Chains A and B, each alone.
Chain A
Amino acid sequence: MTTAASLEIKGLAYAYPDGTQALYGVDVTIGRGERVALLGPNGAGKTTLVLHLNGILYGGLGSVHVGGLAVDPKDKQGLREIRRRVGIVFQDPDDQLFMPTVREDVAFGPANLGVRGAELDRRVAGALSRVGMQDVADRPPQHLSFGQRRRVAVATVLAMEPEILVLDEPSSNLDPASRRELAEILLGLDVTVLMVTHDLPYAAELCPRSLILSGGVIVADGPTLELLSDEELLAAHRLELPFGFDPAIRHS
């Protein structure tokens, strides 16, 4: 199992119950310790793909393996383990942080896995210190700044000691300083990362490798700076670099 890839998706296709086809056969392999950006325009199927990683959406074709374990919604025990292994940080921290205090929220995941007592306290303290938020443990989430909430949201999944950290638009709505602080935290984590975003400079900063998902298929997979230098490719999939950003400068 130690040699298995963190994430292996094969031929994943999915249509919503109303008939809208969102994914048309996605193949992705992410090795242990890699940091990969999943880029794509709105409506490309990014969120649909993410919700397949821990078995919230299922029923289409293809397979997903996390650290060698297949995502199988019929296998309750297995699904619990999958949800430990895949830590999803959702875009709106107000959706992610639903408990009355930060401490209870970070404890929610590990407690569902049966962790209790001193080990639970250790996990909570460890996860909060990894995102520099140990001082707010007893505050209600609604009293934190947006940047702090996003960091706590990352801690809530780190406490589950995931195999792969999946971030949905981690830089959205952050001011520049919070954005940089979050980048520093993410760069310091020794965990496989899949980052869903259309913040291309953020992808360039954090992820050596990128995938472009467009129209329900992976249309490009390669070094981030190479993909971002390919203007035609970006333009074909409604991706654009912000004004003044030149990937070539980082390239050299």
Chain B
Amino acid sequence: MGAGHAHPLYRAGTSGVHGLPPQCKLVAVVAFVFAVVATPQEQMWAFGLYALLLAFVAAFARVPPGFVLRRMAIELPFVAFALLLPFVAHGPRIEVLGVGLSHSGLWSAWNILAKASLGAVAMILVGATTEPRALLLGLERLRMPALLTQIATFMLRYLDVIVGEMRRMRVARASRGFEARGFRDVTVLARSVAALFLRSYERGERVYLAMLSRGYDGRMPVLNEGTATVRQWTAAAVLPGAAALIAVASWILAP
């Protein structure tokens, strides 16, 4: 699919990770995240091992570190929140570089940072090795309610169309001398957004008519039945399996 048109999150490849059915990868990544979240924050070595596991997966999937790091920007809001915690949390304080920081706040910040980063990297790796369309198929095969996957599928299909319309409207505005200068211009932009909403709404109606015309009766036909083999499930289980072992060990070794 998508010859020559890469999605920003997806990185085409032929690795074993790319080849796994999407439903296997989704289950694997969720299981991995559960293992990470279940690990006590004091067991720092465990988080190092998780990171190492992900690094192995990335290397195996031939996803370069820079690709992953740039996309970790998605995590920034959480990072900002985590960095605030040592300053605002209660409890005994310790002195760092002359600033009094909350002891429990520091641990919470570390906890959020470590777990969120590991989760984000795992998700980025799934996104990098699975096309958006395939992810939705995976969700469908995992019995996600059809209505939700249908909405997401349509969003994926029409995102480019809507962005294209938005771009044309911007060009039309600029061609008639409009430049957003200050807050007052927000009304112009708001009207554009309203127009875009109406256009999209009308398109939705036309698409629905086209669907009815081809026999749509409220259920999407299932066109992509793909079952994963035991072998593929086993391969996908390697990452969460290893993570689960680490999580169990971290509890056993916990003081």
Does chain A bind chain B?
yes
Residues on A lying within 8 angstroms of B by beta carbon are: 51, 54, 56, 80, 83-84, 86, 88, 90, 92, 94-96, 98-101, 104, 107-109, 111-113, 138-143, 156-157, 160
The smallest C-beta distance from B209 to any residue of chain A, in angstroms, reads 6
Q: Cβ of B209 and Cβ of A51 under 8 Å apart?
A: yes
CB closest chain-A residue, reference B132: A100
A95 pairs with B203, CB closer than 8 A: yes
Q: Is the CB of A139 within 8 A of B2?
A: yes
Residue contact B223 to A160, C-beta cutoff 8 Å:
no
A51 — which chain B residues lie within 8 A by C-beta?
209
10 further A-B pairs in the complex, CB-CB below 8 A; given A96-B210, A112-B221, A139-B3: A56-B213, A90-B206, A94-B158, A98-B157, A104-B224, A107-B223, A108-B214, A140-B157, A142-B160, A143-B4
Closest chain-A Cβ to B127's Cβ sits at a distance in Å of 16
Contact, CB under 8 Å: B212 / A56 = yes
Q: Is the CB of A92 within 8 A of B5?
A: no
Closest to A138 in B: B1
Name, among B160, B207, B215, the residue most crowded by chain A CB atoms within 10 Å (CB to CB).
B215
Chain A hits for B207, CB < 8 A: 95, 98
Cβ B215 vs Cβ A113 within 8 A: yes
- The interface bits of chain B over 1-16 (1 if a CB of A lies within 8 angstroms of the residue's CB, else 0) are 1111100000000000
Is B1's CB under 8 angstroms from A139's CB?
Answer: yes
* B213 near A54: Cβ-Cβ < 8 Å: yes
Considering only CB atoms, which chain B residue lies closest to A90 in the complex? B210
Q: Find chain A residues with CB under 8 A from B206 CB.
A: 90, 92, 95
Bound-state CA distance A157–B214 (Å) is: 7
B211 near A84: Cβ-Cβ < 8 Å: no
Report if A160-B215 is in contact (Cβ < 8 Å); known contacts: A90-B206, A100-B153: yes
Bound CA–CA A56/B212 (angstroms): 8
Q: Would you call B156 an interface residue if the criterion is a C-beta within 8 Å of the partner chain's C-beta atoms?
A: yes
- Check A88–B215 contact: CB distance below 8 A: no
Contact B213 A83 (CB under 8 A): yes
21 contacts between A and B (CB under 8 A): A56-B209, A83-B213, A94-B203, A95-B203, A95-B209, A95-B210, A98-B207, A101-B1, A108-B211, A112-B216, A112-B217, A113-B215, A139-B2, A139-B3, A142-B160, A142-B161, A143-B2, A143-B3, A156-B214, A160-B214, A160-B215
Whether B133 sits at the interface, judged by CB under 8 Å, is: yes
Are B223 and A111 in contact (CB-based, < 8 A)?
yes
Q: Does A101 contact B210, Cβ atoms closer than 8 Å?
A: no
Q: How far is the CB of A119 from chain B (nearest CB, A)?
A: 13
Compute how far the CA of A113 lies from the CA of B217 in the bound complex, rounded to whole angstroms.
10
Residues of B contacting A108 in the complex (Cβ-Cβ under 8 angstroms):
211, 214, 216, 221, 223
Given contacts A100-B133, A100-B156, contact A112 B161 (CB under 8 A): no
**Complex: A54 Cα to B215 Cα, angstroms:** 10
Nearest A residue to B214 by beta-carbon distance?
A109
Q: Is the CB of B210 within 8 A of A99?
A: no
Question: Cα distance A141–B2 when bound, in Å?
Answer: 9
Question: Chain B 30-74 against A: per-residue CB contact (8 Å), 1 yes, 0 no?
Answer: 000000000000000000000000000000000000000000000
Residues of the B chain whose Cβ atoms lie less than 8 Å from the Cβ of A96: 210
On whether A98 and B215 interact (CB within 8 A), knowing A139-B2, A140-B1, the answer reads no
